[in-house]
Structure 1
Amino acid sequence: MSKQELPVIASTTGCCATTVTSALEPEAAAALAATFKALGDPVRLRLLSLIAAAGGEEVCVCELTPAFDLSQPTISHHLKVLREAGLLTSERRGTWVYYRVVPEALQRLSDVLTPTGLTAAATA
């Protein structure tokens, strides 16, 4: 998703004149909503947080399971949802699977949540 100039729409309908910007196309909004939906579960959010805390290094599922009061297959299911949402990559080695965060996916989420004015101020 590239940064672009957003059209400003002046509206005088309703109680007052407002300035509205259109930030996302419908297709982009649908894709991002699916990613945010994957993070809507507390277990998945914690899993992503634990893997992200590894600082770009990979984390074995065997290291993640003890942090939860859940079975390994349940943890693996949650990791699969995160992987399918594009937030994680994985690599199987023998019986273990190693996970790593996809930094670009986290950046896309961050970009959509960052107010335009703050982004512009940060780069000035």
Structure 2
Amino acid sequence: MTPLTFFKALADDTRMRSLLLIQAESELCVCELMAALDEIQPKVSRHLAQLRKLGLLVDRRQGQWVFYSINPQLPSWANEILQTLAKDEAELIGGNLTNLGQMGDRPERVKHCC
């Protein structure tokens, strides 16, 4: 992971919001991000695939669902930037977190997910 690829990933609004939402929630699946971002599945999936390919995200499969989380192998500087963004720009994803919260609690979301 180079700083250039990291910042290019953050340059897209959907990718940046996805990263910050995943960081805030520890892990999310595509359907949760669709609800939070109010975006269609192909767009969300495409951006998640890019983030995974760049090494920013890792995925975990559970049955038919794929859950994404921040790659624990990220360089410390990248983690610090994400943490600073999340702290200093919390209002950036506030509406997205509200949308996510309207899905209900996590066990209910997982039952109806994807």
TM-score tier after normalising by the smaller chain length: 0.5 to 0.7
Is 1:47 aligned with 2:18? yes
- Please list, as runs of the form range in 1=range in 2, the aligned pairs for 1:55-70 lying within 5 A after superposition: 57-70=26-39
TM-score between the two structures when normalised by the length of structure 1: 0.56
**Rg larger in structure:** 1
Percent of aligned pairs with the same residue?
Answer: 43
Greater helix content: 2
The amino acid that maps onto 2:60 is E
Q: 1:67 to 1:110 in 2, by over 3 A?
A: closer
The amino acid that maps onto 1:91 is R
Q: State which drifts further: 103-112 or 64-73.
A: 103-112
TM-score between the two structures when normalised by the length of structure 2: 0.60
- Looking at structure 1, the residues matched to 63 and 6 of structure 2 have their Cα atoms a distance apart, in angstroms, of 29
Is 1:85 aligned with 2:54? yes
Unmatched segments (≥5 aa) in structure 1: 1-27, 113-124
Q: Note the C-alpha offset of 1:94.
A: 2.8
Query: Which aligned segments of 4 or more residues in structure 1 are displaced greater than 3 angstroms?
Result: none
